[in-house]
A and B are shown apart, each in its own frame.
Chain A
Amino acid sequence: MTITEERLDAAFAALADPTRRAIVSRLARGDATVGELAAPFDMSLPGISKHLKVLERSGLISRRRDAQFRPCHLEVEALDGALDWIGTNRRLWDERFDKLDALLAGMRRPLSPAGPRKGKERAHE
Chain B
Amino acid sequence: MSEQDASDASNELRFSRVFDAPRELVFRCMIDPDHLTHFWGPAGVSAPRDRITVDARPGGVFETVMVNDADGSEYPTRAVYDEVREPELLAWTESSSGMQVTTQFVALGPDRTEVRIHQRFVPEALLAPEARAGFLTALDRFDTYLGGVR
By a beta-carbon cutoff of 8 Å, the part of chain A in contact with chain B is: 5, 8-10, 12-13, 15-18, 21, 24-25, 28-29, 76, 79-80, 82-83, 86, 89-105, 107-108, 113, 115-116, 118
By a beta-carbon cutoff of 8 Å, the part of chain B in contact with chain A is: 1-2, 4, 6, 13, 15, 17, 19-22, 24-26, 28-29, 34-35, 38-43, 111, 115, 117, 119, 121, 123-126, 128, 130-132, 134-136, 138-139, 141-143, 145-146, 149-150
Within the complex, which residue of A9, A86, A100 is in contact with B39, where a contact is CB–CB below 8 Å?
A100
Within the complex, which residue of B126, B136, B145 is in contact with A13, where a contact is CB–CB below 8 Å?
B126
A83 touches B20 (CB 8 A): no
Closest A residue to B44 using CB positions: A95
B146 touches A95 (CB 8 A): no
User: Shortest 10 CB-CB distances between A and B: which pairs?
Assistant: A16-B131, A13-B125, A95-B42, A99-B39, A116-B25, A100-B39, A97-B17, A104-B21, A93-B15, A95-B43
B142 touches A29 (CB 8 A): no
With the chains together, A119 CA to B16 CA distance in Å?
26
With the chains together, A21 CA to B124 CA distance in Å?
18
B39 touches A108 (CB 8 A): no
Closest B residue to A88 using CB positions: B42
B123 touches A96 (CB 8 A): no
With the chains together, A96 CA to B30 CA distance in Å?
11
B25 touches A107 (CB 8 A): yes
B82 to chain A, nearest CB (A): 19
